[in-house]
Amino acid sequence: MSEKISHSQTETRKRRSLKKVGAFVSLVATLATPAVAQARSESDAGKPSPKQPGIEHPLKAPDIAKLISQMEIKGDRNCKIETRTALKLLAHHTPYYFNRVVKYIGVIDCESGGSGMYAYENPPRFVVGDKQREAGIYWYTSVLVHDATHSMLYHQYLARHPGVRVPDNAWIGRKAEDISNNAQAYVLQNIGAPEYYENYYLDYLNKIRSLPYWDVPVGERP
């Protein structure tokens, strides 16, 4: 009898912990149009295929603290706590991607509206909306990597073509989104998230692969 009660309580906690994420997914689903829905059904892209980015070199605590302190975090107390927690989680589990975030995002700006990566600013600024942070620390951590990857693509093109305007398709659009989604999926699978979180997030990430997210104005994004 006690085992049944314990199992029931565990399932209840899981449902509650995913409640906010479910609301976030529902909000993003409203971005879909009939054309997008058709493209999704015809797509054979499949799930993101995370790839091992290379040897993960462990970082020492003082180095992590120093790198995080060099980033500017704009927002209230909760924003700063959540952002530093996400960065530390990333540093301990996937230092390769932690280094990408601290290299290609200089400012993390918490706002109530939508999210967006301003890679062309100096330093590059990532605006993160409430919905992204409220979806949970594991999701927020992966989102930082997703947008840092967009910024990386922008700056890699700029390094190869100095003085030239970076075309949109070099860092946003379907190809760039696929690259960013794959990095995000890898992180979700390697930052120690409980299995039910990991499966839920990866399933969600797969569902929005066909959404033209890059065409949605920043202020209207979740």
CB 47 within 8 A of CB 206: yes
Q: For residue 216, name the pLDDT band (cuts at 50, 70, 90).
A: low
CB 138 within 8 A of CB 201: yes
Q: For residue 214, name the pLDDT band (cuts at 50, 70, 90).
A: low
Percent of the chain with pLDDT over 90: 51
Fill in the DSSP letter of residue 219.
Answer: G
Can you count the helices (H) and strands (E) in the chain? 10, 4
Element (H, E) at 51: none
Winning range, highest mean pLDDT, from 23-32, 71-80, 211-220: 71-80
Fill in the DSSP letter of residue 211.
Answer: S
Percent of the chain with pLDDT over 70: 68
Is cis: bond before 194, omega within 30 of 0? Answer: no
Fill in the DSSP letter of residue 168.
Answer: G
- Rounded Cα distance, 215 and 183, in Å: 21
Q: Nearest 5°: CA angle at 32, between 97 and 145?
A: 5
Q: Are strands 125-129 and 116-118 parallel, antiparallel or unpaired?
A: antiparallel
Say if pTM beats, i.e. exceeds, 0.85. no
Three-state secondary-structure class, residue 221: coil
CA distances 177 to 60, 63, 93, 168, 193, Å, are 32, 30, 23, 12, 23
The pLDDT value given to residue 194? 84
**pLDDT tens digits for range 91-131:** 999 999 999 999 999 999 999 888 899 999 999 999 999 98
Other Cβ atoms within 10 Å of 2 Cβ, number: 6
CB burial readout 198-219, b (16+ within 10 A) else e: bebbbebbeebbbbebbeeeee
Mean pLDDT, the chain, rounded, equals: 77
Q: Angle 137-160/95-104 helices, nearest 10 degrees?
A: 60
**pLDDT tens digits for range 25-75:** 333 333 332 222 222 222 333 334 445 555 567 788 888 999 999 999 999
